[in-house]
Chains A and B, each alone.
Chain A
Amino acid sequence: MKDILWLARRTLIATFRKKSSWIMFILLPVAGILVSMMIYGGGTGGTLRVGIVNEDGDSRITKDTLSFIQGMEQAEVTVLDEESMKQKIAASELDTGVILEKGFADSVRSGHPEGLTLVSLKGAQVTAYLKSMLNNYVDNIAAIGLSAGADQTVFDKIYNGYSQKSFGMDASVVEDTSKAKNMTYQSLGFLIAFMMFSACNLTELIIKEKENRTFLRILTSPISARNYVLSNVMVNILLVMLQIALTLFMLKQVFGINSGIPAGELVLALMLYGLAAISLSLVIVAFAKNSGMAGALQNLIITPTCLLAGCYFPVDIMPDSVRKIAAFLPQHWLLQTVDDLQNGTAFGQLYLNLFILLAFAAAFAFIAIYRFSRNNDTRTFV
C-alpha cells in the first residue's frame, strides 16, 4: 500500500502542476453548469418587471387599471415617463412597458377600449401573460360600459359592484421545477463526458511513462506492474470523486439549482459511472501502442458515444434507431437513472440501471486485465 501511495502522490503532484489539468478536472465541469444555465436558464426567476406610462391622468378607471397591474402576482411595477421606459427596456432593466394613452379611460367607459399599448423587446414570450390578463380586465369594464350606455349612475353602480367584489380564495404557489431538472440533467451530461475525458487523460500517463522510459525504471524497483496500475486507478477515483463533489456543490450551493435527487443517491450513481469510465480508459490504454493512438481512440470513442447517449443534448430529439444504440452505452444508463430519480422513481427500484453501470465497469476492467496479461513483455506492457 505504501508503494501505491508513493506513486499516487507523484501522479497527483505531476497532474496538478499542469495548468491544463486544472481546466480539465475543475473548470470544465463548472463550465458545464454555466452552459446548462445559459441553455435552460433565462428570465428573471418568474418576476415580470413592468414599466407603466400614464398619460391618461387620474380618472378612476385608469387608476384601477394601474392598481390591477400592481396587484398581479409576480409583477414588479414602476411608473415612469415614456422616454425612460424605452431606455430601461433597451437596457433590459424592464421586461415590458404599458402605455395608458390619453383617453384610455373614456374609451373603456364607452365600451370600445383603445389607447392601451404594450412595449417589449422580448415579444410574446414576455407580454403574453400580461396582455391576456389586461385584455380580460379591460374587456370586462368595457362590457359594463356598453351595458350601462350613457347612464353614468348605472355604470357607477355596476362598476362599484364589480370592483368591490372580493372572492374568498386560497392561493398556493407550485414551484416550477422543470428548469432546475433540465439544468441538472444537462450539467450532469457535460460532467459525465468530462469525467470520461479526465479518466482517459490520467490513464494515458501510463503510456506517456512508457514512452519516456520512467515506467521501466519504476519496474526495476520493488514496485510491481499491478501496483503501478492500481496507483493510477486510485488517483483516477480520487479525481472522479472530486469532480462529482465539486459539480454537485456548485450546482446546489453556488448556482442554487435543486437537482431534485437526494445527494447520496446521485453521488452513488455517478461513482458507479465513474468506475465504468476509469475501466474504459484502461481498455484504451491496454490497446493503444502509443499516446498518439490513445488520444485518437479517446476521441473516436468518447465524443460519439456521449453524443448518442444524450450528454450534450436531450436524447428525445433523436430518432428511435439511435436511441436503441444508446442503450449499449454506460452514459445512457446514468442519464436514465438521473431522469428516473428526478421523476420520482425510488432509488431501490433502479437497481437494474445501477447493476448495468456496475457491469459496464466490470466488463471493461476484465478486458483491460486480459489484454495486459496477454503481453508478458514489460517493455511494451504493464
Chain B
Amino acid sequence: MNVLEIHELTRKFGDFVAVDNMNLKVREGEIFGFLGPNGAGKSTTINMISSLLRITKGEILLLGKNITKHSRFAKMNIGIVPQDLAIYEEMTAYENIYFFAGLYGLRGNELKERTAEALEFVGLSDRAKELPKNFSGGMKRRLNIACAIAHKPKLIIMDEPTVGIDPQSRNYILNSVRKLNEMGSTIIYTSHYMEEVEEICSRIAIVDHGKLIAEGTKEQLKSSITDTKDIWISYKSEQPLDTERIRQIPGVTQVLDDEQEQLLRVWSKAEINNLNLILQQLIQNQVEIRSVDEKAATLETVFLTLTGRNLRD
C-alpha cells in the first residue's frame, strides 16, 4: 500500500518552476530517502506535502486521500521534523511537546501519556522540566523530533534532522528513526550526509532541477550506473592540482580533488581506458602518485553521476 502518492506535481514561483511534473510513490513501512542538491526542489516538495505551500498543478494523495481536499485528515497523519529547530525556548521540554501535541486535538490523560511517551522516546524524560536553552544542540534536535511524533502520525517527514550535532546524538537520532519505522511509521528522510541515507533508507529518490531523476533501492541505483567507474588516486603535491586538464581527458565525467587528504577522485565512462592519460597528466605536473584504486559504485557515485554535483555542494 502506498502511504504517499505524488502525481504530476508542479509548483511555480512566477516564471520559475521549482517542482516540475514530479511523480513519486512512498510505500507503507519504508524509510524513504529524498535527495537532491541545494535548490533541487526538495524543500518545495516537502512544503507542499505539509500543506504549507499551494500546489500549482498535480495532486498529492496521503493514504489514498487528496491532501488539498482532505487537508485536516492529511495534517493529522503527517508529522514534520523541520530542518531548523521549531521549539519555544521559554517553555520546558514537556510543555513544548504538550502544546504541539494538543494542536492535533489531544486532551486530558491521553495528551499527558503521549507527551510522556514522546519524551521517553527521545530520551529526555529526566530533562522534561528544563528549558531548551539549557540543552545541547543534540538534545534540542531530539526535542524537535518529539514535538513532531507525539500525535503518532502515519507519515513522518524528517528534513535534515542531524544537522550540526555531535556523533553520539546523531547515532541516537538514527536509531530513533529506525525504531519509529519498526513501530509502524513511514518515514521520508532528507540529509546531506550520504552515509546516513545509505545506512537507514530502504528506497531513495534523487531530484534535481525540480525533477525526479532516479528512484529505487540502493542496489538498483548503484547498478544503474555500471557504465561509470570511480577512480581514487592518492598523491603528494606541493602545488594545487590542475583538475581542469584532467576533466578534458576523453571519457572523464567528473573530477573531485580533496586537497587536505590529497585524494583525487575521477569518474569516467567505464568503456574508455583512460587511466594512463590521467596518470601521465599528473606526473607531468610533478605530482607523486602514491596509490591508484578503482572503487565499486557508491550512492555518492550515483548522485554525482546523475546531478553532476556533490550532495554537500
Contact surface of A with B, Cβ cutoff 8 Å: 2-3, 6-7, 10, 14, 17-18, 212-214, 216-223, 376-379
In the complex formed, the residue of B with least CB distance to A6 is B102
Given contacts A14-B90, A223-B103, contact A378 B147 (CB under 8 A): no
Partner of A222, one of B52, B72, B80: B72
| Residues from chain A with Cβ under 8 Å of B76 in the complex | 222
Tell me the smallest distance from the CB of B228 to a CB of chain A, in Å: 38
Query: Does B147 contact A17, Cβ atoms closer than 8 Å?
Result: no
**Within the assembled complex, what's the spacing in Å between the Cα atoms of A219 and B50?**
9
* Interface assignment of B104: CB less than 8 Å from any CB of chain A: yes
Query: Does A221 contact B104, Cβ atoms closer than 8 Å?
Result: yes
* Interface assignment of B61: CB less than 8 Å from any CB of chain A: no
| Residues from chain B with Cβ under 8 Å of A377 in the complex | 53
| Residues from chain A with Cβ under 8 Å of B102 in the complex | 6
Given contacts A14-B91, A217-B80, A379-B47, contact A222 B86 (CB under 8 A): no
Query: Does A216 contact B52, Cβ atoms closer than 8 Å?
Result: yes
Interface residues on B, range: 20 to 34
**Within the assembled complex, what's the spacing in Å between the Cα atoms of A14 and B105?**
20
Q: Can you list 27 A-B contacts (CB < 8 A)?
A: A2-B105, A6-B99, A6-B103, A7-B103, A10-B99, A14-B90, A17-B90, A212-B86, A212-B87, A212-B88, A212-B89, A213-B85, A216-B52, A216-B86, A217-B80, A217-B100, A218-B100, A220-B50, A220-B78, A222-B71, A222-B72, A222-B104, A378-B47, A378-B52, A378-B53, A379-B47, A379-B52
* Interface assignment of B82: CB less than 8 Å from any CB of chain A: yes
Partner of B86, one of A217, A376, A379: A217
| Residues from chain A with Cβ under 8 Å of B75 in the complex | 220-222
Tell me the smallest distance from the CB of A230 to a CB of chain B, in Å: 15
| Residues from chain B with Cβ under 8 Å of A376 in the complex | 54
Contact surface of B with A, Cβ cutoff 8 Å: 47, 50-54, 71-72, 75-76, 78, 80, 82, 84-91, 99-100, 102-105, 147-148
Query: Does B86 contact A214, Cβ atoms closer than 8 Å?
Result: yes
Query: Does A220 contact B90, Cβ atoms closer than 8 Å?
Result: no
| Residues from chain A with Cβ under 8 Å of B53 in the complex | 377-379
Query: Does B87 contact A218, Cβ atoms closer than 8 Å?
Result: no
Partner of B82, one of A18, A213, A378: A213
Query: Does A213 contact B84, Cβ atoms closer than 8 Å?
Result: yes
Q: With A212-B85, A216-B86, A220-B80 given, name 17 new contacts (CB 8 A).
A: A6-B99, A6-B103, A10-B99, A14-B90, A14-B91, A18-B90, A212-B86, A214-B86, A216-B82, A217-B80, A217-B100, A217-B148, A220-B51, A221-B104, A222-B105, A379-B47, A379-B53
Partner of A14, one of B82, B88, B148: B88
Q: Which 5 pairs show the lowest CB-CB distances between chains A and B?
A: A221-B103, A213-B86, A217-B86, A220-B80, A222-B75
Given contacts A221-B100, A377-B53, A379-B52, contact A214 B87 (CB under 8 A): yes
**Within the assembled complex, what's the spacing in Å between the Cα atoms of A124 and B87?**
65
**Within the assembled complex, what's the spacing in Å between the Cα atoms of A271 and B54?**
38
Given contacts A2-B105, A10-B99, A379-B47, contact A219 B88 (CB under 8 A): no
| Residues from chain A with Cβ under 8 Å of B78 in the complex | 220
